[in-house]
């Protein structure tokens, strides 16, 4: 998927250099959430940020998405410093964050509406992505009529409807049950093939990280540093059987060691 024949594609889509993030606190020392994180994000890859809860993964994702400025260090996407959210970014959050007053299709269309793109073609695109995630026939339902898994699918559609180049996902499947979660993982991999987007995926599940990713950045406990950078050489398309293979387990082991869970 990398270097699709264009001449200007750099080897690296995103660069993170010595990213440090500290929060001011009243009457206490600054809280250092992220000590020093550096890695490269190759175009078209899916990279997971794996770490214990409260380690600064979400903070890092917000920084990459331009929702927060770094205290120090360098954050570049597509060669440009990230200082604010970019039109080419799509975000999915821990909660679906759907608007209860909008129907499913109008929730998906929200990003397009903000750009004043509301034509028939755009509506059709929203219907197409909903079909892709298996929500055909629910276009005119309200979010309150959907299950948690379905709501998260709608949120996924909304994150990709404007065809972003970078998809930032913050534990979007964290609140789902195991079976729905596995379904959503396969769905994400399919979406990735279709859109060709580069994806940064925050998770605290080791197996989820191994199953989805081309590479895993393991965050240490706060203040976060890169505990390990794991290339995942498993072939795509990935299947459920893969989860029980020796290669898969050994990658899980390595991530577990980086997290200090296994020896």
Where does this chain bind other proteins (CB under 8 A)?
Answer: 65-67, 84-85, 87, 89, 91, 93, 95, 97, 99-101, 110-111, 113-114, 141-142, 144-145
Contacts with 88 (C-beta within 8 Å, 6 or more apart), sequence order: 78, 164, 165, 166
Q: How far is the CB of 140 from other proteins (least distance, A)?
A: 10
Q: How far is the CB of 70 from other proteins (least distance, A)?
A: 17
Query: Which of 243, 172, 152, 198 has the alpha carbon at shortest distance from 43?
Result: 198
Which of 67/182 has CB closer to other proteins? Answer: 67
**What tokens were used for 242?**
């893969």
d(CA 209, CA 200): 11
Query: Could you tell me how many residues make up the chain?
Result: 263
Query: Which of 35, 62, 46 has the alpha carbon at shortest distance from 13?
Result: 46
Q: How far is the CB of 147 from other proteins (least distance, A)?
A: 11
Which of 147/239 has CB closer to other proteins? Answer: 147
39 SS3 class: strand
Contact 80, 14 (CB under 8 A): no
Which of 38/94 has CB closer to other proteins? Answer: 94
Residue with tokens 């859109």: 195
Query: Which of 75, 46, 49 has the alpha carbon at shortest distance from 166?
Result: 46
Which of 9/87 has CB closer to other proteins? Answer: 87
Q: How far is the CB of 180 from other proteins (least distance, A)?
A: 19
Which of 141/207 has CB closer to other proteins? Answer: 141
Q: How far is the CB of 162 from other proteins (least distance, A)?
A: 8
Q: How far is the CB of 111 from other proteins (least distance, A)?
A: 5
Which of 82/227 has CB closer to other proteins? Answer: 82
**What tokens were used for 259?**
């997290």
Which of 96/223 has CB closer to other proteins? Answer: 96
Q: How far is the CB of 166 from other proteins (least distance, A)?
A: 11
Burial 210-234 (b: 16+ CB within 10 A, else e): bbbbbbbbbbbebbbbbbeebebee
What pairing do the DSSP bridges indicate for beta strands 224-231 and 72-77?
Answer: unpaired
């Amino acid at each position: 998927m990398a270097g699709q024949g264009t001449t200007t594609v750099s080897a690296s889509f995103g660069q993170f250099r010595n990213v440090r993030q500290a929060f001011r606190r009243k009457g206490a020392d600054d809280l250092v959430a992220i000590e020093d994180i550096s890695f490269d994000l190759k175009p078209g890859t899916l990279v997971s940020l794996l770490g214990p809860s409260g380690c600064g993964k979400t903070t890092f994702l917000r920084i990459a998405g331009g929702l927060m400025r770094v205290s120090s260090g360098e954050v570049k996407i597509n060669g440009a410093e990230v200082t604010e959210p970019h039109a080419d970014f799509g975000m999915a959050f821990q909660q679906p964050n759907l608007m209860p007053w909008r129907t499913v299709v109008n929730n998906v269309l929200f990003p397009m509406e903000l750009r004043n793109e509301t034509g028939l073609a755009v509506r059709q695109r929203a219907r197409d992505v909903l079909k892709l995630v298996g929500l055909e026939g629910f276009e005119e339902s309200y979010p309150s009529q959907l299950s948690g898994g379905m709501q998260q699918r709608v949120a996924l559609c909304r994150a990709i409807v404007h065809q972003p180049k970078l998809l930032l996902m913050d534990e979007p499947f964290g609140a789902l049950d195991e079976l729905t979660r596995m379904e959503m993982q396969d769905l994400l991999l399919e979406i990735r093939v279709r859109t060709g987007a580069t994806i940064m995926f925050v998770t605290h599940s080791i197996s989820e990280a191994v199953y989805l990713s081309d590479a895993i950045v393991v965050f240490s406990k706060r203040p976060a540093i890169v505990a390990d950078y794991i290339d995942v050489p498993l072939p795509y398309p990935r299947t459920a059987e893969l989860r029980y293979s020796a290669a898969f387990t050994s990658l899980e082991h390595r991530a577990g060691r980086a997290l200090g869970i296994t020896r």
